[in-house]
Amino acid sequence: MTPENLAKQIDFIREIDKVKYIQRKTKLFNSDRNENDAEHSWHLALMAIVLMEHSNAAVDLLKVVKMLLIHDIVEIDAGDTFIYDTQKNHSNTDEERLAANRIFGMLPKAQAEELIEIWEEFEAGVTAEARFARAMDRLEPLLQNTSNNGGTWNEFGVNYEKVHEKKSIIKEGSAAIWDFAERLINESVEKGILKKG
């Protein structure tokens, strides 16, 4: 590596520190403090390591961990879109693509291309790795909301139908984890912390 590459990598490392300041709507387990994007990404990466045996297909764990650690970096520029937002679609946007090109583009060319490719793979959600990574991304907020008596579901008036729809993507990465998640969703209705209709 050259001193020029090192300088680019250090600039990138400084830039991604901003992820720590992006507040999510969900709160930490059993807490009233909002989670930030860095905490979220770290937690998902560890979840993938621990839960990998439940993936529907064999996966490259390192690739999954990379996806989970970088998937929200684009929010430095694009901001965090709440999964249940009724005004803005949570799916990939032109804004996020511009952010990916700018932020990952700070790195030396080969690294930039690799991370953009991994980010795009996660967003497309068609490979086994992306499906499992996306399952982790949908599972963590479900666990948080159930630990917080409905958390953001109650705060933002999100109903069972919307939660079930958004969380059902988990089954594409792990049928076993989806069975667990669906039980949690149904139990949340029984407990009165998630409303139907």
CATH number at residue 74: 1.10.3210.10
* H or E element at residue 175: helix 175-191
Q: 17 φ, ψ to 5°? A: -60, -25
Q: In sequence order, what are the beta bridge partners of 18?
A: none
The answer to whether residue 159 scores a pLDDT higher than 70 is yes
Token duo for residue 166: 């958004």
Which residue bears the tokens 């080969």?
Answer: 110
Confidence bin at 93 (pLDDT 50/70/90) = confident
Check: CB of residue 117 under 8 Å from CB of residue 97.
no
Task: Let me know if residue 107 belongs to a domain.
Answer: yes
Task: Let me know if residue 114 belongs to a domain.
Answer: yes
CA triplet 36, 181, 172: central angle to 5 degrees? 90
Confidence bin at 88 (pLDDT 50/70/90) = low
The answer to whether residue 41 scores a pLDDT higher than 60 is yes
Question: What is the distance between the alpha carbons of residues 45 and 123, in angstroms, rounded to a whole number?
Answer: 16
Which residue bears the tokens 């621990």?
Answer: 50
Whether this prediction's pTM lies above 0.85 is answered by yes
Domain range for 28 is 3-191
Task: Let me know if residue 117 belongs to a domain.
Answer: yes
Token duo for residue 192: 């009165």
Residue 12's pLDDT is: 97
pLDDT tens by residue, 100-130: 999 999 999 999 999 999 999 999 999 999 9
Residue 86's pLDDT is: 62
Q: Residue 97, exposed/middle/buried by CB under 10 A (0-12, 13-18, 19+)?
A: middle
**DSSP codes joined into one string, 19-80:** GGG-EEEEE-TTSSSEEEHHHHHHHHHHHHHHHGGG-SS---HHHHHHHHHHTTTTHHHH-P
Residue 92's pLDDT is: 55
Q: Are strands 23-27 and 34-36 parallel, antiparallel or unpaired?
A: antiparallel
The answer to whether residue 6 scores a pLDDT higher than 80 is yes
The overall average pLDDT reported for the chain is 94
Task: Let me know if residue 196 belongs to a domain.
Answer: no
Number of domains in the chain: 1
